[in-house]
Structure 1
Amino acid sequence: MKRILITGAAGFLGSHLADRFIAEGYYVIGMDNLITGDLRNIEHLFQHPNFEFHHHDVSKFVFVPGDLDYILHFASPASPIDYLKIPIQTLKVGSLGTHNLLGLARVKNARILIASTSEVYGDPLVHPQTEDYYGNVNTIGPRGVYDEAKRFQESITMAYHRFHGLETRIVRIFNTYGPRMRLNDGRVIPAFIGQALRGEDLTIFGNGLQTRSFCYVDDQVEGIFRLLHSDYSLPVNIGNPDEITILDFAKEIIKLTGTEQKIVFQPLPENDPLQRQPDITRAKELLGWEPKVSREKGMKLTYNYFKSLSKADLEKQDHKDFSKYNH
């Protein structure tokens, strides 16, 4: 039985990846320090014979007994609200955490896939974004703690690949959504759905003409699964190229929820990207992958998930104490 370590396993994407690899017959070792993760995302796996969980911060030395075939490094705050509240921890998990896991992969002779992001492109001057584009990033801006952590993560991963011959994979994840996201974490979809559920007006930052491209979580997991098992070591965009303005998307949310909220506008945050659309040519050619789930279907599934949660569950999602981690 193949053994895989998934860091950030109690998070949104990490928990879905744990489900997928369990379903594929792997023994899954989940690891998370629960800063932004939630044990409720993986509690259904606790009694599974092929799953174990380690409560640990990968920014500190990582030890896993036994053999490892694969490592998926998904431990990092991924939403603006989170990484702006814990900027130092965000930098540490992208640098120290990645270094620790690359070292573990080398000791275990394991293949490692690291989760990078479309944020490495910053506020792009090239559209759509290809993997060959180097980006337009403000290193000292408030978003730089996340952007630069991910850029460094890619650099050290490629250094280990080239210098040590380590089997590495890099996925650049574009906006992904689905069940188990946290409401009000600063990302567009959970923010809009949270406001709709509370009967509040939908808040758009800027004029709403900035664009995003949303990929449903099942499609994202499929792309990551294929990339891990490919022979390609350079970064690969995994996202949905179906681009939409935030203003039009807000109108879709109002239609989906059957509510009559107004749309209100607030100033655009510093360095917030104005365009985001992946070029997925590389993923199509190398992996035979492209997204299958339409935004209409994916949003219905996501909205129904949030509607199914109790009021207490919704409130718990929004209370995270970051004070002890920012050091």
Structure 2
Amino acid sequence: MAKERVLITGAAGFLGSHLCDRFIAEGFYVIGMDNLITGSLKNIEHLFGRDDFEFYHHDVSKFVHVPGELKYILHFASPASPIDYLKIPIQTLKVGSLGTHNLLGLAKAKKARMLIASTSEVYGDPLVHPQTEDYYGNVNPIGPRGVYDEAKRFQEAMTMAYHTYHGLETRIVRIFNTYGPRMRLNDGRVLPAFIGQALRGEDLTVFGDGSQTRSFCYVDDLIEGIYRLLKSDYAYPVNVGNPDEITIGEFAEEIIKLTGTDQKVVYKPLPKDDPMQRQPDITRAREILGWEPKVSRAEGLKITYDYFRSLSKEELYTKEHNTFEGYARK
């Protein structure tokens, strides 16, 4: 009996590569697609040579054709870190708009169910805490983060339009800060930035006074939530993240303790539109999906730290984040 086929865009990225692993483990034939503008083949090289995986090097902002049947499409192609979307703002907007449109059209043609990766950034710098799916957000469309925030907001709107007008089976996951192996060490996000600085013996940089909060979800928990949402009958957005909130200042101290280093914490001005609070309300995920995170931050950080320690010196000392010093870290 032929395996059901799933298309995963952004397959060579952090989350996309973990999704490829999960769907192969679930018995699917996986088609990975990525233009490698931010993804890395290193994340999926262990899958090459398998008879249940193939890879398309393609930009989904251009017409997408995949021969044969598709059961599911998961759209995870998008720059997701400030380093990336500040460097390639037009591509970020195009993958959220043109790319989403192309894939929704493919899903319609194939009669496939499509799940899109949205983000907590649709809430902007929230005036409601914690953030529920019913909150419309506080987003600056022309600020430095607007290219990412508005691309994701448009992506949700386009997806719901296809669901209501064409009757397409769609799912929307709003992803909160996630971490784990295969993150890029120097992509500008706070967790890999802190660990990278600690491993290089540098002081840890905190933007603002460190009182802003984040909530970190381990990647295995996130992938489980995404898989359950895809299989569910719920078409509206669902927050998937860990509600265990911590200030950035406290988190820096956790990283110093974890790495056994004696660096100081240095403070720099807070970037424009940087969210002061980020914590998911996961009531909907608990009630509809029967999901909640299982991996504690201490456990997940140890696994992630061990992964980063295994990187080469070349990877460790490629300090891309210094190129955009002063911009927001998610």
TM range (shorter): over 0.9
Pairing of 1:64-75 with structure 2 (within 5 A) = 64-75=66-77
Pick the aligned partner of 2:80 from 72, 75, 78: 78
TM-aligned CA deviation for residue 47 of structure 1: 1.2
Give the match for residue 173 of structure 1.
175
Q: Deviations over 1:253-286 (max 9, x none)?
A: 0000000000000111100000000000000000
Q: Deviations over 1:144-171 (max 9, x none)?
A: 0000000000000000000000000000
Contact 1:3 1:27 in 2 (8 A): yes
Q: Deviations for 1:9-42, whole angstroms, at most 9, x for unmatched residues?
A: 0000000000000011000000000000000000
Does 2:187 match 1:185?
yes
Q: Percent identity?
A: 82
Q: Distance in 1 between matches of 2:114 and 2:123?
A: 22
Query: Partners in 1 of 2:272 and 2:153 — Cα distance?
Result: 19
Counterpart code for 2:204:
L
Cα drift, residue 317 of structure 1: 8.7
Q: What residue identity is the alignment partner of 2:27? A: G
Q: What's the CA shift for 1:315?
A: 4.8
Instruction: Give distance in 2, aligned partners of 1:6 and 1:228.
Output: 13
What is the RMSD computed on CA atoms of the aligned residues? Answer: 1.2
Q: Which residue of 2 aligns with 1:325?
A: none
Checking the alignment, whether the CA contact within 8 Å between 1:183 and 1:318 is kept in structure 2 is: no
3-state secondary structure, aligned to 1:256: helix
Matches within 5 A, 1:126-165: 126-165=128-167
Q: 2:200 aligns with which of 190, 198, 219?
A: 198
Kindly state the Cα deviation for residue 4 of structure 1 after the two structures are TM-superposed.
Answer: 0.2
Following superposition, the deviation at residue 318 of structure 1 comes to: 4.8
Counterpart residue identity of residue 164, structure 1:
H
In the TM superposition, residue 308 of structure 1 has moved relative to its aligned partner by 1.1
Q: Indicate how the Cα distance of structure 1 residues 195 and 316 shifts in structure 2: closer, same or farther if over 3 A, else same.
A: closer
- 1:280-310, Cα deviation, whole Å (9 max, x unpaired): 0000000000000000000000000010122
> How far apart are residue 313 of structure 1 and its match?
3.8
**TM-score, length-normalised on structure 1?**
0.96
Amino acid at match of 1:176: T
Q: Helix, strand or coil: the match of 1:58?
A: coil
| Correspondence for 2:328 | none
- Aligned partners of 2:168, 2:25: CA distance in 1, in Å? 27
Task: State how far apart, in whole Å, the 2-side matches of 1:231 and 1:72 are.
Answer: 16
The equivalent residue for 1:41 is: 43
| 1:324 corresponds to | none
Name the counterpart of 1:113: 115
Residues 215-235 of structure 1: CA deviation (Å, up to 9, x unaligned) = 000000000000000000000
1:50 maps to which residue? 52
Counterpart of 1:323 in structure 2 is none
1:227 to 191, 209, 229: 229
The 5 A counterparts of 1:296-311 are 296-311=298-313
Asked if the contact 1:185–1:318 (Cα under 8 Å) also holds between the matched residues in 2, the reply is yes
- Sort the Cα spacing of 1:90 and 1:166 in 2 relative to 1 into closer, same or farther, 3 A: same
Query: Which amino acid counterpart does residue 245 of structure 2 have in structure 1?
Result: E
Indicate the residue corresponding to 2:106 in structure 1: 104
Q: Secondary structure at the match of 2:117?
A: strand
8 A contact 1:7–1:14 mirrored in 2? yes
Q: How many Å apart are 1:112 and its aligned residue?
A: 0.2
CA contact (8 A) 2:200 2:317 kept: no
Q: 1:179 to 1:227 in 2, by over 3 A?
A: same
Q: Does 1:283 align with 2:297?
A: no
In 1, the alpha carbon distance for the partners of 2:27 and 2:174 equals 26
Q: Distance in 2 between matches of 1:186 and 1:318?
A: 8
* CA 248–316 in structure 1, closer or farther in 2 if over 3 Å, else same: closer
Can you list the C-alpha shifts for 1:177-196, whole angstroms capped at 9, x where unaligned?
Answer: 00000012111100001101
Secondary structure in structure 2 of the residue aligned to 1:264: strand
Q: TM-score, normalised by structure 2?
A: 0.96
Write out aligned runs for 1:23-38 (5 A): 23-38=25-40
Contact in 2 for aligned 1:213/1:276 (Cα 8 Å): yes
User: Gaps (5+ residues) in structure 1?
Assistant: 320-327
Cα deviation, residue 50, structure 1: 0.2
Partner residue in 2 for 1:263: 265
- Whether the aligned pair in 1 keeps the contact of 2:4 and 2:29 (CA below 8 Å) is yes
Unaligned residue ranges in structure 2 (runs of 5+): 322-330
CA distance in 2, matches of 1:317, 1:24: 37
Q: CA deviation at 1:314?
A: 3.4
